[in-house]
Structure 1
Amino acid sequence: MKLVFAGTPEVAVPSLDALIASRHEVAAVVTRPDAPAGRGRKLVASPVAQRAEEAGIEVLRPAKPRDPEFLERLAEIAPDCCPVVAYGALLPQVALDVPARGWVNLHFSLLPAWRGAAPVQHAVLAGDEVTGASTFLIERGLDSGPVYGTVTEEIRLGDTSGDLLGRLSVSGAKLLVATMDGIEDGALEARPQPADGVTLAPKITVEDARIDWRAPALRVDRVVRGCSPAPGAWTEFRGERLKVASVRLAAGRSELGPGEVLVQKNTVRVGTGSYEIELGEVQPQGKKRMTAGDWARGARVEAGERLS
């Protein structure tokens, strides 16, 4: 089939690579416009755009996918199908109507669970043991279209959202190619999602990533892992923001109050609503990431001080 691939971030690149290597023709790529990045805030092409240009594939960067010039070019290409991975913009019906076999999205959850922008983060935050990826036909609802196929992935002890998404981007890429093959061969039929089991996964905000030390230690651990690498779990110490990159659950119930810090020779412990946790790596405001021990020594944390 002739394909136009839509995607933007690094997590979409494995799917683009897999489609380029498949029997299908990737005629063009649709991605978000170049965005400012780095200290100089220079415009930088998206990871998908960079990979497409390396492969000599035409790149379309509409400010909005309803822009007339984009729609005209899409119609000229006349793709059979448009696979999508984390494109980052809503597609209007006029664009959905162009490919004969529609737009097929690779979504990183087992639909109808975790519909929305942050399915992997919410799966980690909720303590799910298994998640996966689904391919489905895009319609006007939020990730509600009929499903072509799924692949499952165990959420391992200690997985961050970044770890899990990295694995899903690889297994999902294989699923996406298999879905394209099945659509072309007529071997796949999209099946409606069940009405039961719908959960929503809105974008994780910075405020969502704030640690509540009154919560049980297991919840603190999930917030830290679920918000890694972005937006990053955080707390406050002496009125300044302190990012918490990793923690470890400690044995035994806490003798420390919620947020109370205890600096020992080789560990920095913090009280929660249940067990204590050990801080792994932290990042003070305006500084680089460091071990909790280095931070505590540098800050000269005193007995009884708290993270808030």
Structure 2
Amino acid sequence: MQIALFGTSEFAIPTLEHIQSSGHTIVAVVTQPARPRGRGRKSNPGPVETAARGLKLPVYTPKDPNATSFVDKLTRLHPDLCVLTAYGCILKQPLLQLPRHGFINLHPSLLPCYRGAAPIQRALFNGDTETGVTAIQMNTEIDAGDILNQKRVHIGPDETAGELTARLASAGADLILETISRISQGTVHMQPQNHSSATRAPKITESERLIDWGKTAVELHNLIRGLAPKPGAFTYFHNRRIIALCSRLANVAAPAEPGTLILERPGLSVATGSGVLELLELKPEGRKVQSGQSFRNGYRPKQGDKFDR
């Protein structure tokens, strides 16, 4: 089968590599154009573009994939199927109807739950113990197409968004290959989503990243792991922004007001609205990642010192 893959972030790389090694022909890898990145704001290619060029695959970086000029270009490549995952752009007709088998999308949740841009983070925020990956037949509505295939994945109690993303990317790559096989054999079954059960997973806002120490230790632990390693949940200590990257629940009651550093305990423990949270790894603004103990040794907090909102 001739396949065009649409993807940009690292999440799409396992799918790209699986399709490349499966015997199918990748006629195009379509990815977002290079954008300014890092401190120097240099325009560097995205992860998928870098991976595709390393595999000697044809790469296309349209500014607007829905433009007639690009649709015509893709038409001349005669793809039987297009696979989209972590691409970063909404596709419209007539692009979606171009391939003989249409577009299929890999989404990192058990649809119809968590439709939107941040399904992994939202699942962790909510303390879910299970998520998954879903392959859908794309239509013009976001994440609302018929389900073609689905796989459930367990979430560990301390698993971070980065760790879960890597596991879902791998599981998703397997799922896509299985789905492509069913499509080519004519055995795929389309199951309409129950739209009344749909939940949303909108993009994370800056205000959501700010740690509210009045919340419970469990809620804050889920927030921190849901935003790790990027963009990171943050707080302030003596007016300096501190990004919290790794935490652990301490099975003790909070002996002080929310946000207060508990110096009687080893490491870096903080009182919350209910319970105590130990910060294992942090990144002070402008400095390198460090352990909670290193932070304590360097900043030498005094009795009664607090993290601020």
Cα deviation for residue 300 of structure 1 reads 2.1
Residues in 2 aligned to 1:206 and 1:166: alpha-carbon distance in whole angstroms: 24
**2:82 equivalent in structure 1:** 82
Cα deviation for residue 206 of structure 1 reads 2.4
- Structure 1: segments with no counterpart, 5+ residues: none
Q: What's the TM-score, normalizing by structure 1?
A: 0.97
**2:139 equivalent in structure 1:** 139
Other structure's SS at 1:153 match: strand
Other structure's SS at 1:274 match: coil
Superposed counterparts of 1:63-212, under 5 Å: 63-212=63-212
Cα deviation for residue 264 of structure 1 reads 4.3
Other structure's SS at 1:32 match: coil
Cα deviation for residue 265 of structure 1 reads 6.6
- Opposite residue 28 of structure 1, the aligned amino acid is A
Deviations 1:39-78 (A, max 9, x none): 3322211111111111111101011112333112111112
- Opposite residue 111 of structure 1, the aligned amino acid is L
Other structure's SS at 2:153 match: strand
**1:278 equivalent in structure 2:** 278
- Opposite residue 282 of structure 1, the aligned amino acid is L
Other structure's SS at 2:94 match: helix
**1:262 equivalent in structure 2:** 262
- Opposite residue 78 of structure 1, the aligned amino acid is H
Other structure's SS at 2:241 match: strand
Cα deviation for residue 284 of structure 1 reads 0.9
Other structure's SS at 2:177 match: helix
Cα deviation for residue 280 of structure 1 reads 0.6
- Opposite residue 101 of structure 1, the aligned amino acid is H
- Opposite residue 15 of structure 1, the aligned amino acid is T
Residues in 2 aligned to 1:59 and 1:33: alpha-carbon distance in whole angstroms: 10
Deviations 1:253-295 (A, max 9, x none): 1112100112347322111011111111111111111111211
**2:246 equivalent in structure 1:** 246
Other structure's SS at 1:261 match: coil
**1:218 equivalent in structure 2:** 218
Other structure's SS at 2:76 match: helix
- Opposite residue 61 of structure 1, the aligned amino acid is T
Cα deviation for residue 304 of structure 1 reads 0.6
2:83–2:105 contact (8 Å) kept in structure 1: yes
1:36–1:42 contact (8 Å) kept in structure 2: yes
Pairing 1:297–2:292 present: no
Residues in 2 aligned to 1:117 and 1:265: alpha-carbon distance in whole angstroms: 39
Residues in 2 aligned to 1:306 and 1:55: alpha-carbon distance in whole angstroms: 51
Residues in 1 aligned to 2:34 and 2:210: alpha-carbon distance in whole angstroms: 30
**Ranges of 4+ aligned residues in structure 1 off by more than 4 Å:** none
Residues in 1 aligned to 2:204 and 2:263: alpha-carbon distance in whole angstroms: 31
Residues in 1 aligned to 2:185 and 2:90: alpha-carbon distance in whole angstroms: 29
**1:53 equivalent in structure 2:** 53
**1:34 equivalent in structure 2:** 34
- Opposite residue 268 of structure 1, the aligned amino acid is L
Other structure's SS at 2:19 match: helix
Residues in 2 aligned to 1:67 and 1:142: alpha-carbon distance in whole angstroms: 19
